[in-house]
């Protein structure tokens, strides 16, 4: 045992005020944990007053200590954390914190902390003071897993979990946004749980009696600011303000927010509060312009984020998770890419989008210049190709003219597939608009991403010449498959968004009271079946030879008969041999390949088409 005199001297030492150095920060943290571990050191009112004054000094000086000492994890966060644990009566968590800080196992009875709990919760850190103080604590700069110890993020997480911010009407949105913007790799393990509990606090009221008690979501403009400068290719990365870690975390927030919102739509629909409906509209606004393609572009590169983002993308954006694309991507990002970089010359780098446009304008008379530029572009990486995407797609209709070499068409197809790995959605929209019929009887219209998700069959309303150009038909089928998947996800999402309609009683049933009610789910499935059935029918019709092709085939057959004569040994039909090498035959192979995939994915399509 320490004698009373020794205890007094030890208390004087522990409550001393060291200089603002890393050692000083460590000393204060250890002293604080010693007070918690050995509360019997404080036995008189005078000693208790001394401790309260020292704790108040800690609160006042912690920001100064952090700025001068250069230590990110200061004792201020530890104070806040302990205060929150006291408020939520998590005494075992305090004991674990004390033992880990002191570096030794100490048997601490929870009952010995009762007096300290009273001091913390009633005198120094009331819950309102804790929440107000936590918001003012600066975020951790360049937060990563390399920064250990107790940080502001731990405190904010606990306060969000206990709903203290909503209870005391303290806005935490700005602090969370600033911290997300100050992150780097390796990812700190507390970031994803922080985002999850923040989303829950936005959508779920703190109590049924007060449905307005929710946190505010990050604004649409703040989300867009994080993704600025992504459309100009890899060269723009140096000018980006935010790190890839921040961009992926914000993407995770946006995707998780949408998923949680759709999952809670019925509850929010029954809750007659304006804010819930405002949040729904706000969320759809984000998704009309958010940069989902970034996850594809950077291959979900952060390991700890990979599985979480992949699950969200596969659920909400299946058209960005096509396995065939990932297999093709192996060729683009593997050994072949390294060999291409070795072959890359300054000439290839010097070709500008403007020069590519000039080369396209020389068609069909001169195709040498275009072929040379396209071959050079195949040496570039996917990110470096982005500035050429608009010129490449806007001139696709010129490739439908007679006399364009097959090699140019195949090279354009190859470049398109590379671009598809980094900007699929924008590329599809530009391509669909570029391949529209250009005849006078057609009124050209610029379709949007939303138009194509609602009606994927727009993809097949292209220039008829595409149907006999295998490289361009390959691109068209790729987009059709993607938009059929996107349409399914869109309708599922729409059904959840409007889920409150399911809980309203049906009114004025036109078929009479005894007629069976058709659910919205059944209507959605019928629409999807009709959509896929129509796509299959159109594709099967494209496989059939046109009247002109039939006539041409008959004429060539008759000509061959007249040349070889009608007598002699029987030989295979010439048109059968020729058809194996013609464009129609190649298009038929491409279409049948897609149809087989569709039938395997949903065998009911076979029955539907057979019935039709």
Report whether pLDDT(511) > 80. Answer: no
What DSSP letter does each residue of 121-145 carry, written as one string?
Answer: IIII--HHHHHHHHHHSPPPTTB-T
d(CA 322, CA 482): 8
The more confident residue out of 333 and 152 is 152
CA 591 to mean position of chain CA atoms: 31
Residues 254 and 286: beta-carbon distance below 8 Å: yes
Half-sphere exposure of 357 (CA within 13 A, CB side): 9
**In the structure, what pLDDT confidence band is assigned to residue 578 with cuts at 50, 70 and 90?**
very low
Question: In the prediction, which pLDDT does 272 show?
Answer: 47
Phi, psi of 286 (to 5 degrees): -60, -45
Residues 562 and 526: beta-carbon distance below 8 Å: no
d(CA 45, CA 317): 64
The more confident residue out of 241 and 288 is 241
Tens digit of each residue's pLDDT (9 = 90 or more) over 330-347: 666 556 656 656 666 555
**In the structure, what pLDDT confidence band is assigned to residue 591 with cuts at 50, 70 and 90?**
very high
Residues 159 and 130: beta-carbon distance below 8 Å: yes
Residues 456 and 488: beta-carbon distance below 8 Å: no
Q: Which CA distances in Å does 479 have to 27, 162, 175? A: 63, 47, 41
Q: Minimal CA–CA distance to 415: which of 475, 358, 364, 481?
A: 475
Half-sphere exposure of 369 (CA within 13 A, CB side): 13
239: which 2 tokens? 């000018």
Q: Minimal CA–CA distance to 477: which of 604, 587, 585?
A: 587
Q: How many CB atoms lie within 10 A of CB 443?
A: 7
Tens digit of each residue's pLDDT (9 = 90 or more) over 425-444: 889 999 999 999 876 445 56
d(CA 603, CA 580): 29
Residues 479 and 596: beta-carbon distance below 8 Å: no
Most confident of 95-99, 199-203, 468-472: 468-472
The more confident residue out of 564 and 39 is 39
Q: Which of 325-334, 352-361, 410-419 has the lowest mean pLDDT?
A: 325-334
Mean pLDDT of the chain: 79
SS3 annotation, 481-519: HHHHHHHHHHHHHHHHHCHHHHHCCCCCCCCCCCCCCCC
Question: In the prediction, which pLDDT does 589 show?
Answer: 93
The residue extents of the domains of the chain are: 1-125, 135-321, 326-499+520-551+578-611
The more confident residue out of 398 and 232 is 398
């Amino acid at each position: 045992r320490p004698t009373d005199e020794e205890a007094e001297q030890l208390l004087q030492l522990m409550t001393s005020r060291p200089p603002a150095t890393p050692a000083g920060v460590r000393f204060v943290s250890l002293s604080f944990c010693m007070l918690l571990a050995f509360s019997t050191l404080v036995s008189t009112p005078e000693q208790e007053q001394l401790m309260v004054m020292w704790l108040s000094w800690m609160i006042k000086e912690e920001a100064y200590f952090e700025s001068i000492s250069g230590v990110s994890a200061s004792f201020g966060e530890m104070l806040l954390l302990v205060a929150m644990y006291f408020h939520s009566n998590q005494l075992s968590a305090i004991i674990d914190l004390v033992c880990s800080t002191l570096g030794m196992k100490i048997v601490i009875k929870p009952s010995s902390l009762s007096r300290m709990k009273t001091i913390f919760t009633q005198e120094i850190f009331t819950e309102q003071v804790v929440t107000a103080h936590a918001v003012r604590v600066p975020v951790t700069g360049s937060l990563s897993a390399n920064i250990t110890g107790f940080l502001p993020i731990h405190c904010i997480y606990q306060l969000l979990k206990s709903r203290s911010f909503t209870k005391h009407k303290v806005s935490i949105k700005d602090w969370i946004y600033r911290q997300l913007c100050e992150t780097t790799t390796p990812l700190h393990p507390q970031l994803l749980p922080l985002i999850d509990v923040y989303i829950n606090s936005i959508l779920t009221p703190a109590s049924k009696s007060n449905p307005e008690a929710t946190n505010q979501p990050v604004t649409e403009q703040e989300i867009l600011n994080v993704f600025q400068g992504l459309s100009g290719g890899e060269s723009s990365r140096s000018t980006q303000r935010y790190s890839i870690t921040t961009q992926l975390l914000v993407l995770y927030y946006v995707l998780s927010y949408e998923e949680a919102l759709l999952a809670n739509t019925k509850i929010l629909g029954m809750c007659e509060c304006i804010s819930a409906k405002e949040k729904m509209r706000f969320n759809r606004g984000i998704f009309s312009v958010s940069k989902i393609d970034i996850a594809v572009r950077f291959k979900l590169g952060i390991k700890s984020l990979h599985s979480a983002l992949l699950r969200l993308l596969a659920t909400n954006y299946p058209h960005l998770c096509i396995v065939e694309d990932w297999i093709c991507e192996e060729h683009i990002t593997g050994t072949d890419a390294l060999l291409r970089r070795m072959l890359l010359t300054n000439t290839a780098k010097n070709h500008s989008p403007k020069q590519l446009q000039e080369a396209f304008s020389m068609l069909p008379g001169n195709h040498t210049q275009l072929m040379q530029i396209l071959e050079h572009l195949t040496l570039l990486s996917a990110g470096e190709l982005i500035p050429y995407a608009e010129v490449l797609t806007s001139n696709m209709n010129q490739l439908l003219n007679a006399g364009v070499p097959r090699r140019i068409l195949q090279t354009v197809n190859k470049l398109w597939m590379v671009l598809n790995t980094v900007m699929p959605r924008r590329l599809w929209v530009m391509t669909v608009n570029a391949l529209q019929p250009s005849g006078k009887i057609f009124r050209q219209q610029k379709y949007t991403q939303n138009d194509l998700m609602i009606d994927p069959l727009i993809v097949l309303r292209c220039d008829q010449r595409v149907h006999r150009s295998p490289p361009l038909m390959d691109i068209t089928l790729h987009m059709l498959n993607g938009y059929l998947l996107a349409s399914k996800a869109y309708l599922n999402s729409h059904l959840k968004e409007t889920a409150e309609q399911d809980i309203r009683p049906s009114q004025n049933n036109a078929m009479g009271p005894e007629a069976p009610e058709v659910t919205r789910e059944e209507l959605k499935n019928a629409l999807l079946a009709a959509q896929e059935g129509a796509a299959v029918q159109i594709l099967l019709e494209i496989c059939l030879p046109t009247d002109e092709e039939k006539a041409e085939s008959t004429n060539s057959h008759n000509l061959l008969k007249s040349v070889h004569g009608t007598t002699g040994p029987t030989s295979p039909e010439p048109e059968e041999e020729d058809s194996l090498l013609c464009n129609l035959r190649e298009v038929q192979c491409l279409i049948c390949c897609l149809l087989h995939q569709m039938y395997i994915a949903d065998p009911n399509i076979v029955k539907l088409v057979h019935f039709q």
